[in-house]
Amino acid sequence: MNKKSFISKSLLVTFSFAICVGAYAQQKEYPQPERMKPGMSEYWTPQPKIVTPGTTTKAAALTAPSDAIILFDGKDLSAWEGAQGGPALWKVHDGVFTVDKKTGDIQTKQKFENYQLHLEWCVPENITGTSQGRGNSGVFMQGLYEVQILDNYNNETYVNGQAGSVYKQTPPLANAMRKPGEWNVYDIIYSAPIFKEDGTYRVPPTVTVIHNGVVLQNHTTILGTTEYIGFPKVRKHGVGPIVLQSHGDPSEPISFRNIWIREL
C-alpha cells in the first residue's frame, strides 16, 4: 500500500469509528435530572438580623432629583403598561396606586439598562397571611431579576425569599421592615450584564438594595433569572422594563408611591 492510500484508509476507519460511537451515544439512555420542586431552592436559616430603621416624617419624604425620570408621582400610570399588553389597570387613588391581582403584572413603557431606582411601598395595616402569602409583590430589574417585596414584619419565610432578597438567590443582610401601614422605601442601584457571543455573562448583573436606609444587598452578583422552581437561567437580553409583580397570594394588596429612576 502506498503512503497516500494508507492515509486515506486510516481516515476512513477513524471516521467510521466516530459515527459508530456517535450512534451508540444517541441510543444509550442517560439518567435525567430529578424534577425540581419549589422547596428545593428555599432555605430558612440563618434568619437575617432585625434592624429597626430610622423614622421619617412627611416633610422629610424624598422627592425626585432634577435629572430623574418620573415613573409615578401620584397622578396616573401613564409611564406604565400591562406586562401582557394593554394599559396598566392597577388602581390609582389618594396619590398612590394599589396592585390589582386580577389584571396581572405591570411594567414601565420605557426600557432601561443601568440605573438608580427609588420606590416606596406599603403593606395594608390589616394584612393577614403568613410566609410568602403576606404582601407578596416584587420589582424586576430588566423584567428578569426580582428583588422581593414582601411583608416580613413579624413574618418569617425562607430567607432567600424575604423582602430585599434577590429572589431564591441571595438573602438580605438585614430585616429592616416597617410595620404594616407604614411606608417602606427601596433605593436600588442596578448594573446590567454584558454578554459574550455565546449568550453567557461576560460581566454578570449586580444589584445594591437599600431598604429604609439599611443596606440589604451590597453590590450583589445576580446569578441569572429568579425562578420560583429550579436554578437561575442565563439568557442573552438587552434593555428591559421595570416590572412590578401582581402575586397571586390571598392577602390584601399592597400599594406603591413616589417612583423615579436615574439612568447611570
Q: Give contact residues for Mg ion (rule: CB under 5 A).
A: 136, 138, 245
Residue type, 257: R
Give whichever of 147 and 176 is closer to Mg ion, judged by the CB atom. 147
Residue 167 C-beta: closest distance to Mg ion, Å: 6
Comparing CB distances to Mg ion, the nearer of 138 and 172 is 138
| Angle at the Cα of 107 from the Cα atoms of 104 and 112, rounded to 5 degrees | 155
- CA of 136: how far to CAs of 129, 151, 250, 252, in Å? 10, 7, 9, 10
Q: Smaller CB distance to Mg ion: residue 214 or 244?
A: 244
- Between 71 and 254, name the residue whose CB sits nearer to Mg ion: 254
Least distance from Mg ion to the Cβ atom of residue 149, Å: 6
- Closest contact distance (angstroms) between CB of 146 and Mg ion is 6
Q: Which of 116, 112, 140 is nearest to 67 (CA)?
A: 116
Minimum CB separation from Mg ion for residue 150, in Å? 6
Q: Are 112 and 261 in contact (CB under 8 A)?
A: yes
Min. distance of Cβ 156 from Mg ion in angstroms? 16
Sole residue written with cell 407604614: 182
73/249 with CB nearer Mg ion: 249
Least distance to Mg ion from the beta carbon of 197, Å? 33
Q: Return the number of the residue (16 or 100) whose C-beta is nearest Mg ion.
A: 100
Please name which of 149, 90, 147 lies closest in space to residue 123, comparing C-alpha atoms: 149
